[in-house]
Amino acid sequence: MVKLAKVLATAAMIFGISMSAWAMGKVHEGTIVDTMNSGGYTYVQVQEGDNTFWAAGPQVKVDKGDKVQVVEQMWMTNFTSKTLKRTFDKLMFVGEIAKK
């Protein structure tokens, strides 16, 4: 997990991606409203109460409507996925997307 975070931080510096401060391991639980897989990662849009956010972690089989839990590792702003050809305004990287 730490190795992945270091790689992402280094990539952010190299490619000039704006990164927020390291997350403190906050646990989030919610329902998947959108999901896609690309480049070995699963991207999920999670509805948590009145808040909706995108998270990405190692590829896993999940579907819209699944209840999931993710633990913050790092937030990135203006993150562009070259394989999805999409830029996320704000994206949380996690070590695991766990079904509840």
**What is the model's pLDDT at position 55?**
98
Between CA 83 and CA 67 the distance in angstroms is 26
Phi-psi region of 92 (alpha: psi -120 to 50; beta: other; left: phi over 0): beta
Between CA 16 and CA 95 the distance in angstroms is 23
**What is the model's pLDDT at position 25?**
84
**What is the model's pLDDT at position 7?**
56
C-alpha dihedral sign at 59, 5, 77, 84: negative
Tokens of 72: 């913050």
**What is the model's pLDDT at position 4?**
57
- Beta strand pairing call for 74-81 and 19-22: antiparallel
**What is the model's pLDDT at position 1?**
47
Q: pLDDT of the chain along its 100 residues, tens only?
A: 445 555 555 555 555 544 444 445 899 999 999 999 999 999 999 999 999 999 999 999 999 999 999 999 999 999 999 999 999 999 999 999 999 9
**What is the model's pLDDT at position 21?**
43
Tell me the residue length of the chain: 100
